[in-house]
Chains A and B, each alone.
Chain A
Amino acid sequence: MSTHDHTPPGAATGPAGPPPRARTRKATGAPTGLTQGSRARGGIGESTLRPDGTLKVTGEFAYSSDMWHEDMIWGHILRSPVAHAEIVSIDVSGALAQAGVHAVMTYDDLPTDVRYYGLEIQDTPVLAHGRVRHHGEPVALVAADHPETARRAADRIRVEYRELPVVTDEASALAPGAPVLHPDRAPHGAHPNIVHRQPIVRGDVGAAARRADVVVTGEYTFGMQDQAFLGPESGLAVPGEDGGVDLFVATQWLHSDLRQIAPVLGLPAHKVRMTLAGVGGAFGGREDLSMQIHACLLALRTGKPVKIVYNRFESFFGHVHRHPAKLRFEHGATRDGKLTHMKCRIVLDGGAYASASPAVVGNASSLSVGPYVVDHVDIEALALYTNNPPCGAMRGFGAVQACFGYEAQMDRLAAELGMDPVEFRQRNAMEQGSLMPTGQRVDAPAPVAELLRRVQARPMPPERQWETTEGADVRQLPGGLSNTTHGEGVVRGVGYAVGMKNVGFSEGFDDYSTARVRMEVSGGEPVATVHTAMAEVGQGGVTVHAQIARTELGISRVTIQPADTGVGSAGSTSASRQTYVTGGAVRNACREVREQVLRMGRRKFGTYHRAWATAKLLLEGGKVVTDAGEALADLADVLGDEAVEAELEWRHRPTRPFDPHTGQGDGHVQYAFAAHRAVVEVDTELGLVKVVELACAQDVGKAMNPLSVVGQIQGGSVQGLGMAVMEEIVVDPVTAQVRNPSFTDYLIPTILDTPPLPVDVLELADPHAPYGLRGAGEAPTLSSTPAVLAAVRDATGLDLTHTPVRPEHLVAAALAAAPGRTARN
């Protein structure tokens, strides 16, 4: 924790956190630092309620955009209006002359030689240096006493751009003589505009293809999706008296940020003290840095606390998106419905900077077969550098794009064979013991066929639900309140899909977490304090980690400390990994505390009862008890006025890199599986789609918190629904400029677009994971998109190959037939 005495209101802590510090003007609540005295026991497996729930419903929970300091000024970022240009000159004099402006900074003002950052490859300039590579790239910073003053000052910075030709797709990026995005980078493939490439070869595809009775090829395109978390990128940087800085920010991984920020500021890591502010959703979009370095630079330059808050327009430029993809598949099957082989090529558009592209390629390639057994494969996935917006992490991370393609192929194969699409999938479904295309054996339950069976067995939603005694309720129809149909031209379709996602960081990454757990007596009662750097982004890690502590320590009062860099890294809140990995660290730290407490008890009370020496001892109900249930001592008496503390790192079993040529290797930790059935109704005249029901079945290993895990499954399903029918960042193919950076033009599902979402949770324990749990957050985002597309194909008979499906795709035939019109895709 910082020793600095300037504390933004949000950094003060709530009930039972550390006391508010000096010069805190007003405590408006806190993201964490919460004690939950649960009347129920509140251990794992219970639907314990969120400890931050009350603060979040009263408006007191302090998000990063709520940070406030009485001396603060506002930062603003000037961004490139063009996608690719040489910067000829920058004149900041107009901005500096404006009243209320405290500082203007460009590349030349950066304090050290470290001027680039990046998650995996340090290729992203803190501020543009001589060249911009994408629309919206940061060029200059302004700090001023009012956000509008800062914006107006930024408008007075004169930047002369000399535009360069753009590369926007595989053909232009890999053409001979194409502009090279990063000429200094060592070549990583056949062309310098290839960020990363991963082939996977297994078996004998040629021989297997000759055994196929049917061969189906397909080409699919996947649009650019935005995470669209609601809390904009924001935070507050407060300069410290020691020359360091305190940063309060919304992120997914504090220590990854710190590793990238400190060198650019020229500060040792311990002088950049980061505290997690309230995070308004993330979904991968906060893995990369956004305003962190910029706020710190301005704070250190001006000596004043600096707040930066993006608006929604800027947010669309302020974080990476999900990679758009072109996918080409060939699958073969025998007449009796067994897959013979698969060939595929997946081209991901990484945009101007690398971000997480290499890892996304690893997932897209290694998961491109899906949850099926195919012994003969020839796979290639690659990511490109282009002048499009940078793409990186989003929920599902490479597995989403692949699933859209292979599930469309499964339906085509089933149709070709005249089989039921669910039955065809079940005949080829992987199970425990199956081999991945990487040669890795799936050594935990893989209930793929069962998940499909469960969604198929659900009763169908009633037909024509819009019919009421007073006529059509248009809210139940495609087009909704636009009142475009009362049922005329509306047809129903049903589609299925299943997918698999790796859990945790893969390919040999040292994926650990750190937890510090302390137990002491407070108010006569034993209380545990759990301190990790885990970013709570809404997923409920704070709830589950407290549940783990209650279960392991047998007490009811647990305080979750604010996440900060005062404790070791927790790793990222991504890859469905925090319940697993930080959960594992909390569990083991609790067990270490338990052993210390038992040693203390033996020391103090061992002579009074022989069971201290002979019995297996547990902590339950605030007491030390024998496994036969006999209470030996109150924890309060064992602890007295002493505190017991343990801090440790915890790792899941190691993974290995994929072979660069064959893709073989035990690259993944764990797999998660989900299946969906989508029921849609389509207005075939206007091309409008209403999803009527989206049912999901998912295996979560162990439902640590059933209420929360169902919430994750429903939320992930609806992000997939959005990708199926409305969400796409449209980038102009000629200028590489983003056309729809707003919630007016980039649509995410509203409550009216969203149907009932029945969920079936399976709990087949993974013997390798803490409590048998399986990372759950991402899998439901995979299969919902292809299930909806399959349902729309079923309703319309159209062969749809692009997601999201747009009205013009559905009425293309009618448009083409209309006099004087040309149908365009």
Chain B
Amino acid sequence: MRVHFTVNGRQHEADDVWEGESLLYVLRERMGLPGSKNACEQGECGSCTVRLDGVPVCACLVAAGQAEGREVVTVEGLAAHAGQRAQRSGGAPARSEGGQAALAPIQQAFIDAGAVQCGFCTPGLLVAADELLDRQPNPSDADIREALSGNLCRCTGYEKIMDAVRLAASRQGEAARR
């Protein structure tokens, strides 16, 4: 079958898709977007978290055909997505020195806080954490833990992921106040 959907603001289509293929497989193997990860392929680890019409989902549990005509945001589009959000709220999207869209605040915070080790869980955690900050700019620690409880990380023990989300929230707050 052929499927069409929007990924990170761009229209994509894929041909010869077998009906049993997941959205994750089509993103990774047919659209050249391997950022969403394949750690369990049964919806337990959250490494493949993407936003489907704004809602965080495990792309491994979504049949590719279910995404037909819908909007998908993956980790590859997170910086642009966060930039648009900043623009809507009146701020200017962060730009790097070269002029391209800089990292999303949550991406930069993960680097700065040491929340990345092997990094395999990172794309899914970033999408989930960005979605949290989207709807709840000042989450409590318990809110962060609840929002990210569907994303497994085996390297960090989560402490620096907590630090990163707190850091991104505070930087986002500062940017909005400016």
Residues of A within 8 A of B (CB): 26, 28, 47, 49-50, 52-54, 56-63, 65-66, 68, 146, 148, 227-232, 278-283, 309, 311-312, 473, 475-476, 481, 537-540, 707-708, 710-711, 714-719, 742-744, 748-752, 754, 756-757
Contact = CB atoms under 8 A, between A and B. Distances in A.
6 A-B pairs closest in CB distance: A59-B35, A538-B118, A280-B120, A56-B119, A714-B157, A718-B157
A754 B144 CA distance: 12
Contacts of A62: 34
A718 B112 CA distance: 21
Given A57-B110, A60-B35, A718-B158, A231 B40 contact: no
A708 B114 contact: yes
A311 B60 CA distance: 11
A66 B23 CA distance: 16
B154 A281 contact: yes
Interface in B1-51: 18, 20-21, 28-29, 32-42, 44-45, 47
A728 to B, nearest CB: 16
A756 B159 CA distance: 7
A61 B154 contact: no
B126 A754 contact: no
B145 A57 contact: no
A312 B39 CA distance: 7
B111 A742 contact: no
A711 B47 contact: no
A709 to B, nearest CB: 10
B117 A58 contact: no
Contact of B151 (A50, A707, A751): A751
B155 A715 contact: yes
A58 B34 contact: no
Interface string B135-149: 000000010111011
Interface in B59-100: 74-76, 78-79
Contacts of B78: 58
B156 interface: yes
B162 to A, nearest CB: 8
14 contacts: A53-B111, A57-B110, A58-B35, A59-B123, A68-B34, A231-B37, A311-B41, A538-B155, A711-B155, A711-B156, A719-B154, A744-B42, A754-B157, A757-B159
B175 interface: no
A229 B118 contact: yes
Judged by DSSP, the binding face of A is loop
A717 B154 CA distance: 11
A230 B153 contact: yes
Interface in B120-137: 120-123, 126
Contacts of B110: 53, 57
A473 B149 CA distance: 16
A537 B41 contact: no
Given A59-B34, A280-B39, A751-B151, 13 more contacts: A47-B114, A49-B112, A57-B110, A230-B152, A311-B40, A312-B40, A312-B45, A475-B142, A481-B149, A539-B117, A711-B114, A711-B156, A752-B146
Q: Which of A26, A475, A707 has the most CB of B within 10 A?
A: A475
A743 B40 contact: yes
A719 to B, nearest CB: 7
A161 B44 CA distance: 33
Contacts of B74: 59
A809 B14 CA distance: 52
B52 interface: no
B157 A56 contact: no
A708 B117 CA distance: 8
Contacts of B121: 230
Nearest to A26: B32
Contacts of B157: 711, 714-718, 754, 757
A743 B44 contact: yes
B107 to A, nearest CB: 4
A36 to B, nearest CB: 12
Contacts of B144: 751
Contacts of A710: 114, 160
Which of A230, A278, A476 is most buried by chain B, counting CB atoms within 10 A of its CB? A230
Contacts of B76: 58-60
B102 to A, nearest CB: 10
B89 to A, nearest CB: 22
B57 interface: no
A346 B93 CA distance: 60
Interface centre among A57, A309, A475, A711 (most CB of B within 10 A): A57
A283, A750, A752, most chain B CB atoms within 10 A: A750
Count class of interface residues, chain B: 35 or more
A743 B152 contact: yes
Contact of B122 (A57, A282, A751): A57
Given A748-B154, A751-B149, A742 B44 contact: yes
Contacts of A232: 38-39
A315 B6 CA distance: 32
A230 B44 contact: no
B116 A56 contact: yes
Contacts of B122: 56-57
Contacts of A475: 142, 145-146
Contact of A280 (B37, B103, B145, B162): B37
A49 B110 CA distance: 10
Most buried by B among A26, A280, A473, A481: A280
Contacts of B120: 63, 229-231, 280-281, 538
A283 B117 CA distance: 12
Interface string B149-178: 111111111111110000000000000000
Which of B108, B153, B155, B161 counts the most chain A CB atoms within 10 A?
Answer: B155
Contact of B39 (A54, A58, A61, A231): A231
B159 A714 contact: yes
Contacts of A751: 144-145, 148-149, 151, 153, 158, 161-162
Given A475-B145, A742-B42, A58 B79 contact: yes
A280 B153 CA distance: 10
Given A28-B32, A230-B45, A754-B158, A280 B114 contact: no
Nearest to A476: B142
A50 B111 contact: yes
Most buried by A among B78, B112, B160: B160
Given A538-B119, A751-B149, A54 B111 contact: yes
Contacts of B29: 68
A28 B142 CA distance: 36
A703 to B, nearest CB: 13
Given A538-B118, A752-B146, A57 B156 contact: no
A717 to B, nearest CB: 6
A248 to B, nearest CB: 13
A350 to B, nearest CB: 24
Nearest to B127: A59
A685 to B, nearest CB: 23
B154 A57 contact: no
A50 B155 CA distance: 15
Nearest to B120: A280
B22 to A, nearest CB: 11
A750 B114 contact: no
A60 B107 CA distance: 13
A28 B34 contact: yes
A476 B143 CA distance: 11
Contacts of B149: 481, 750-752
B8 to A, nearest CB: 10
A472 to B, nearest CB: 12
Most buried by A among B21, B44, B75: B44
A440 B33 CA distance: 54
Contacts of A49: 111-112, 114
A228 B78 CA distance: 27
Residue of A28, A58, A63 contacting most chain B CB atoms (<10 Å): A58
Nearest to B148: A751
Q: Which of A63, A716, A719 has the most CB of B within 10 A?
A: A63
Contacts of A279: 118
